[in-house]
């Protein structure tokens, strides 16, 4: 009898382990045009030993930057979405989906819009990640929550295309913070109250944004803290009209800047 009970208990434990593993079945699903998002997706999948799949447009966005923008603007004006290829995976097998995309026009790229309008992700845990020119993680996550109100949307990860060299370290910290990888991560201090920018801080801000054509701003106030890789600055800036668009209204933006010893300042994201 003892032997039979031991065997039954072992079988129950194995079944429970199997259920736990299935309950955390992870898929990394992404759309990528220029391979930037693909790089992040593969980093996440490799770290988690997760399955990986792509969202693909039937008619690819394979032109240059200007051709892609022109096509997107036409599609937006006509209120049409691109058709996408059938997925090569069964989403029913996964309850944790890392969803990746480039940010276009402040949100996820059109093929991802198509996917989200055609797919019910209710009850699933969705972890967004994205690549962008200046920002868009926060705005795209807001859109994701609206279109998938019954999904569990977790905090996401975003990185500028100009900072892809930072992906390995940042993805590791992101996965640890989200509880997907084991490890210890010291929480960062909150940014203190903003104060008016000094002359030195203005120089840091200008050096970080100089040369980026989609951001023409003047720093007004700033707060700073010690980050994982250097000193992080959170600037509140006045977004000024860009060249060629003088009638754009002025408004405030948040610009995050990283300063690492011995390196030029870089901005990491903009929240408009």
**Domain shared by 173 and 259, yes or no:** no
Shared domain for 172 and 209, answered yes or no, is no
Phi and psi torsions of 268, nearest 5°: -100, -30
Q: Is there a domain that residue 14 lies in? A: no
State whether 120 and 201 are in the same domain: no
| Residue 113 covered by a domain | yes
**Does a structural domain hold residue 50?**
yes
Dist CA 134 CA 262 (whole Å): 23
Summarize pLDDT for 102-158 with one digit per residue, the tens.
999 999 999 999 999 999 999 999 999 999 999 999 999 999 999 999 999 999 999
Same domain, 97 and 154: yes
- Contact (CB, 8 A) for 239 and 251: yes
Q: Bridge-partner residues for 258, per DSSP?
A: 232, 266
Of the chain, the percentage scoring pLDDT greater than 70 comes to 89
In a domain, 125, yes or no: yes
Residues 117, 78 share a domain? yes
Residue 143 near residue 114 (C-beta atoms within 8 A)? no
Whether the pTM exceeds 0.85: the reply is yes
Distance (Å, rounded) from C-alpha 153 to C-alpha 130?
Answer: 14
Judgement on whether residues 173 and 108 belong to the same structural domain of the protein? yes
Length of the chain, in residues: 272
Question: What pLDDT sits at residue 214?
Answer: 86
Report the range of poorest mean pLDDT among 11-25, 78-92, 107-121: 11-25
Q: Quick check: is 131 in a domain?
A: yes
CA quadruple 134, 139, 144, 145: dihedral positive or negative? Answer: positive
239 and 211 in contact (C-beta within 8 Å)?
A: no
Token look-up 């930072």 returns: 166
Domain contains 186: no
Greatest Cα-to-Cα distance within the chain, rounded to the nearest angstrom:
85
Q: Answer whether 258's CB lies under 8 Å from 265's CB.
A: yes
- Count of C-beta atoms within a 10 Å radius of residue 190: 7
Domain match, 214 and 150 both:
no
> In whole angstroms, how far apart are CA 104 and each of 76, 107, 119, 203?
12, 6, 21, 30
pLDDT surpassing 90 at residue 247: no
- Give the chain's radius of gyration (CA, Å): 22
Question: Residue 228: which of 268, 198, 199, 197 has the closest Cα?
Answer: 268
Helices (H), 101-186: 110-118, 137-147, 167-177
Does residue 105 sit in the same domain as residue 141?
Answer: yes
Which residues constitute the domain of residue 143?
Answer: 19-177
Neighbours of 26 (CB within 10 A): 19
pLDDT at 20 over 60: no
Q: Are residues 45 and 173 located together in one domain of the fold?
A: yes
Going by pLDDT thresholds of 50, 70 and 90, the confidence category of residue 208 is very high
Q: How far apart are the first and last CA of the chain?
A: 68
199 and 166 both lie in a single domain: no
Domain with 57 in it: what CATH number? 3.40.50.360
Q: Are residues 220 and 117 in the same domain?
A: no
Domain for residue 183, yes or no?
no
DSSP state of 59: S
**What is the pLDDT averaged over residues 239-244?**
72
Q: Which of 148, 177, 206 is the last residue of a domain?
A: 177
Tracing tokens 């975003």 back to the chain, one arrives at 158
Q: Does residue 258 contact residue 266 with C-beta atoms inside 8 Å?
A: yes
Same domain, yes or no: 151 and 231 = no
Question: Which of the listed residues 110, 142, 177 is the one where a domain comes to its end?
Answer: 177
Residue 219 maps to a domain: yes
pLDDT of residue 251: 84
| Separation CA 125–CA 251 (nearest Å) | 35
What is the pLDDT confidence band of residue 33, given thresholds at 50, 70 and 90? very high
Give the total number of structural domains in the chain.
2
């Amino acid at each position: 009898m003892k032997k039979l009970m031991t065997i039954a208990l072992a079988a129950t434990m194995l079944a429970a382990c199997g259920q736990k593993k299935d309950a955390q079945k992870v898929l990394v699903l992404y759309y990528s045009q220029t391979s930037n998002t693909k790089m992040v997706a593969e980093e996440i999948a490799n770290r988690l030993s997760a399955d990986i799949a792509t969202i693909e447009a039937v008619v690819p966005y394979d032109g240059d930057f200007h051709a892609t923008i022109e096509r997107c603007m036409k599609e937006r004006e006509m209120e049409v979405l691109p058709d996408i290829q059938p997925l090569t995976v069964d989403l029913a097998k996964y309850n944790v989906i890392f969803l990746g995309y480039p940010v276009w026009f402040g949100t996820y790229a059109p093929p991802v819009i198509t996917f989200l309008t055609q797919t019910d992700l209710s009850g699933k845990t969705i972890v967004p990640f994205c690549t962008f020119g200046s920002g868009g993680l926060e705005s795209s996550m807001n859109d994701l929550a609206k279109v998938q109100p019954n999904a569990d949307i977790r905090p996401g990860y975003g990185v500028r295309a100009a900072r892809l060299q930072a992906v390995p370290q940042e993805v590791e910290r992101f996965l640890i913070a989200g509880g997907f990888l084991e490890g210890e991560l010291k929480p960062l201090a909150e940014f203190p109250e903003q104060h008016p920018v000094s002359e030195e801080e203005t120089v840091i801000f200008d050096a970080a944004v100089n040369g980026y054509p989609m951001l023409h701003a003047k720093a007004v106030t700033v707060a700073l803290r010690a980050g994982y890789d250097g000193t992080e600055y959170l600037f509140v800036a006045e977004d000024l009209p860009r060249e060629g668009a003088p009638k754009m209204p002025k408004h405030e933006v948040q610009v995050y800047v990283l300063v690492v010893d011995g390196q030029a300042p870089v901005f990491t994201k903009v929240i408009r």
